[in-house]
């Protein structure tokens, strides 16, 4: 069972990395489009008043993603300085040469270091990129909500046609919302399949790791490595669920912003009220990033994946007790 669990965990980690590289290559054009969406799609809707909001939210995301990346570096460092094999290597390897000699040990340890750092850091760097794309859409929703609330406040009393100005600004808000929806759909189609595979892989690997930790782990060092591996796997899913939940919440606030703007626009013509109603109805369907349509990436989904993993772990442990 220990060999099987070790093999499954190794295959899982390597598979996530390979799938990520293939996924980026297949959807390279879509990722390029999403990366420049702020300048290409949203530039016409931005004003100088939006710059402080964008900078403040980007700083928060930068600190969070840097924290996740440094956690990955710390986890890799702990793995590499904690030997588990008889040769003193951080991984159990089947080698065609003697790894106890100085040269054999140095080559083997260097191979482990490059594999561990490259696999984990590439995976986490791509996670940081995808989270940034989700955050860009969330920031645009925040700016849209602010503009809807202030829709009638900025209308000058000296304007010859105040209703015409409101209609022009409302039309711009609607086009802004449609652009956000279009980019959210593109991001969903780009990430959906990868997130579904990653969720299944993390759930299965977590189940086996908890089973090994509860039944056969010997020594504090092995327990520490298992716990570190579990935290690393969960963090890869947690970042998507955290920022995906923020995207859902922010998209729901658009409908609330439209509702708050209605009292100040009571005297407007019927076409403006009708446009507000249509905008509110569409905003009531929140935007989300899903795992290929099976479930949205939110905090409740993260808890659900953890619960399913624990349920299968409890089932395996009960089978083990029955065999004994």
Do residues 203 and 308 lie in contact, with contact meaning Cβ atoms separated by under 8 Å?
A: yes
Distance CA 187, CA 41 (A): 14
For 149-158, give one letter per residue: b (16+ CB within 10 A) or e.
Answer: bebbeebeee
CA angle 249, 138, 71 (to 5 degrees): 95
Identify the CA nearest to 112 among candidates 99, 131, 129, 125.
99
What is the predicted pLDDT for the residue at 2?
Answer: 60
Mean pLDDT computed over 65-92? 79
Distance CA 250, CA 57 (A): 13
What is the predicted pLDDT for the residue at 218?
Answer: 61
Distance CA 315, CA 312 (A): 5
Query: Could you read off the pLDDT of 7-60 as tens digits, one per residue?
Result: 676 777 777 777 778 888 888 888 888 888 887 888 888 888 888 888 888 888
3-state secondary structure of 296: strand
Q: Which region among 31-45, 172-186, 208-222, 257-271 has the lowest average model confidence (pLDDT)? A: 208-222
What is the predicted pLDDT for the residue at 158?
Answer: 45
Percent of the chain with pLDDT over 70: 89
Q: Which region among 67-71, 90-94, 105-109, 260-264 has the lowest average model confidence (pLDDT)? A: 90-94
Distance CA 166, CA 161 (A): 9
DSSP code at position 83: -
What is the predicted pLDDT for the residue at 154?
Answer: 56
Q: Could you tell me the pLDDT band of residue 141, with boundaries at 50, 70 and 90?
A: very high
Q: Which region among 143-157, 211-225, 271-285 has the lowest average model confidence (pLDDT)? A: 211-225
Distance CA 137, CA 284 (A): 17
Mean pLDDT computed over 119-126? 79
Distance CA 215, CA 199 (A): 24
Residue 97 in this model has a pLDDT that exceeds 70: yes
Q: Could you tell me the pLDDT band of residue 181, with boundaries at 50, 70 and 90?
A: very high
What is the predicted pLDDT for the residue at 320?
Answer: 63
254's CB contacts (< 8 A; 6+ apart) are 141, 144, 145, 148, 177, 279, 283
Distance CA 214, CA 305 (A): 19
Most confident listed range (37-51, 100-114, 131-145, 297-311): 131-145
CA angle 293, 294, 300 (to 5 degrees): 110
What is the predicted pLDDT for the residue at 156?
Answer: 46
Do residues 260 and 207 lie in contact, with contact meaning Cβ atoms separated by under 8 Å?
A: no
Classify the C-alpha dihedral 259-261-265-266 as positive or negative. positive
Query: Could you read off the pLDDT of 228-274 as tens digits, one per residue?
Result: 777 877 888 888 888 899 999 999 898 888 888 877 777 778 888 88
């Amino acid at each position: 069972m220990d060999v099987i669990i070790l093999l499954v965990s190794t295959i899982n980690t390597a598979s996530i990395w390979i799938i990520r590289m293939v996924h980026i290559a297949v959807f390279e054009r879509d990722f390029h489009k999403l990366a420049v969406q702020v300048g290409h799609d949203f530039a016409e809707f931005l004003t100088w008043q939006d710059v402080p909001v964008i900078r403040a939210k980007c700083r928060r995301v930068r600190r969070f993603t840097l924290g996740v990346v440094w956690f990955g570096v710390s986890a890799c460092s702990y793995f590499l300085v904690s030997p588990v094999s008889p040769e003193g290597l951080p991984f159990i390897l089947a080698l065609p040469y003697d790894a106890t000699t100085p040269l054999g040990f140095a080559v083997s340890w260097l191979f482990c270091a490059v594999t561990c750092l490259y696999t984990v850091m590439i995976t986490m760097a791509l996670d940081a990129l995808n989270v940034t794309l989700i955050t860009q859409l969330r920031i645009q929703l925040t700016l849209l909500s602010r503009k809807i609330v202030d829709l009638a406040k900025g209308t000058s009393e000296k304007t010859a046609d105040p209703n015409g100005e409101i209609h022009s600004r409302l039309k711009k808000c609607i086009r802004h919302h449609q652009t956000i929806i279009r980019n959210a759909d593109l991001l969903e189609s780009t990430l959906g399949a990868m997130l579904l595979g990653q969720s299944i892989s993390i759930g299965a690997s977590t189940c086996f790791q908890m089973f090994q930790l509860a039944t056969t782990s010997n020594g504090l060092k092995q327990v520490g490595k298992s716990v570190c591996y579990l935290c690393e796997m969960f963090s890869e899913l947690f970042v998507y669920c955290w920022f995906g939940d923020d995207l859902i919440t922010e998209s729901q606030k658009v409908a609330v912003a439209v509702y708050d703007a209605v009292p100040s626009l009571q005297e407007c013509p019927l076409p403006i009220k009708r446009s507000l109603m249509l905008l509110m109805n569409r905003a009531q369907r929140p935007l989300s990033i899903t795992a290929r349509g099976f479930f949205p990436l939110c905090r409740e989904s993260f808890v659900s994946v953890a619960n399913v993993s624990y349920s299968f772990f409890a089932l395996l442990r009960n089978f083990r007790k029955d065999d004994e």
